[in-house]
Amino acid sequence: MNYIYYKDPKGNFGDDLNGWLWPQLFGVEQPDNDAFIGIGSILYNDSPLFRDLGNKRKIVFGTGIRPGYKNFTCDNTWDIRFLRGPLSAYNFNNTYEYIADAAYALRLTNDFNNIRSVKKQYEISVIPYFKSLEFFDWQAICDQLGFHYISPAAEKGVEHTLREIAASRYVIAEAMHGAIIADILRVPWSRFVLSTPFTEGGKVSEFKWMDWLHSIQLYNTESTPIQLYRKSSLHTKLKKMSGNMISAEFFVKRVVKDELLSKLRAIKHFHLSNDSVINSIDSRMFEKAAQLRQEIGFTPASIPARTQL
């Protein structure tokens, strides 16, 4: 199949999971075959990822809606097996079922138990959103906190990043797939919010987090907001001088860094989905993967048994 996902030039762990995971479950990529759409919030109208697919079959396997002012629509070339969460399902008036984020299929791989069982090395690890990298030296931030830094760019490869998360006792994540992989590996996690309201948009960010969280039956989770841009005295002057035509906010690095250090240090509450929820996800995804493998005629060298918690 042709694996369709967003590719950032500098790398992004959440998206890059696609290129590592799906060949293990469904075989090496065949660009001329059906399109397979897995991990990502990439279901939206006029997406450039789908522009050249034409009448090819488009298999959706746990993908999420990216919210817009118009609901995402699809024709009969789309084969939606399941969606990421209930908010994505609502887009289609609940015509299609949801299970959870496609990344939970990591639990179906032969290497999963080996990755999950790595020795714990880090008390707390921090995974920022990949677009937050430009604002701070995150290694220095983590060194100052006494925490372990895990790069969302996954420079050493996806599997290395998976093992780094598994080797952590707790994870503090701005990157959603940092939290998702922690949950998959049964590592308690906590969310912080820094650049996402500005880099991907608050509406998109909150939608995709709530879509995932509700799919794993977590409804009242805490997050830690850190204000990236803020108004200064210059804002008032500019607004007055421009007749309310200019509203200015500024990134004051020292102030934001102090708040970031203070708030991350203060995080004490971590989350983890219930084992029974994970067992249900495992069972349903196992069946969906087995059905698709049978349809495309792919038989892996060995098929892992379902992991039971």
- Tell me which of 211 and 249 has the higher pLDDT: 211
**Predicted confidence band of residue 245 (pLDDT cuts 50, 70, 90):** low
Residue 230 has pLDDT above 80, yes or no: no
- Reduced to 3 states (helix: H, G, I; strand: E, B; else coil), residue 306 is coil
- Segment 138-160 shows an average pLDDT of 98
| 37-82 tens-digit pLDDT | 999 999 999 999 999 999 999 999 999 999 998 999 999 999 999 9
| Sheet architecture: strand order including 189-193 | 148-149, 122-127, 168-173, 189-193, 223-225
Residue 237 has pLDDT above 70, yes or no: no
Residue 27 has pLDDT above 90, yes or no: yes
- What is the pLDDT, as a whole number, of residue 33? 85
Distances (CA, A) of 281 to 29, 99, 108, 307: 25, 6, 11, 11
- Segment 166-170 shows an average pLDDT of 99
- Segment 157-166 shows an average pLDDT of 99
- What is the pLDDT, as a whole number, of residue 307? 61
- The answer to whether 191 and 223 are in contact (CB under 8 A) is yes
Residue identified by tokens 């709530």 is 210
- What is the pLDDT, as a whole number, of residue 240? 62
- Percentage of residues of the chain with pLDDT beyond 70: 90
Cβ neighbours for 296, distance < 8 A, ≥ 6 positions apart: 1, 26, 27, 34
- Segment 212-221 shows an average pLDDT of 97
**Predicted confidence band of residue 244 (pLDDT cuts 50, 70, 90):** low
Q: Inter-axis angle of helices 13-26 and 275-296, to 10 degrees?
A: 50
**Predicted confidence band of residue 231 (pLDDT cuts 50, 70, 90):** low
- What is the pLDDT, as a whole number, of residue 299? 85
- What is the pLDDT, as a whole number, of residue 106? 98
- The answer to whether 203 and 175 are in contact (CB under 8 A) is no
CA-wise closest residue to 293 among 81, 87, 32, 10: 81
Q: For the chain, list the strands marked E by DSSP.
A: 2-4, 35-37, 58-63, 78-83, 122-127, 148-149, 168-173, 189-193, 223-225
Residue identified by tokens 């069972």 is 283
Residue identified by tokens 């999963």 is 112
Residue type, 48: P
- Segment 234-261 shows an average pLDDT of 73
| 80-127 tens-digit pLDDT | 999 999 999 999 999 999 999 999 999 999 999 999 999 999 999 999
| 271-297 tens-digit pLDDT | 999 999 999 999 999 999 999 999 999
In SS3 terms, 178-235 reads as HHHHHHHCCCCEEEEECCHHHHHHHHHHHHHHHHHHHHCCCCCCCEEECCCCECCHHH
**Predicted confidence band of residue 302 (pLDDT cuts 50, 70, 90):** low
* β-strand partners of 190: 172
Residue identified by tokens 């993967």 is 289
Averaged pLDDT of the chain: 93
All domains of the chain, ordered by start, with CATH? 2-110+276-295 (no CATH), 112-223+268-273 (3.40.50)
Cβ neighbours for 148, distance < 8 A, ≥ 6 positions apart: 121, 122, 123, 124, 125, 126, 142, 164, 168
Q: Any idea what DSSP says for residue 112?
A: H
- What is the pLDDT, as a whole number, of residue 248? 60
Q: Any idea what DSSP says for residue 126?
A: E
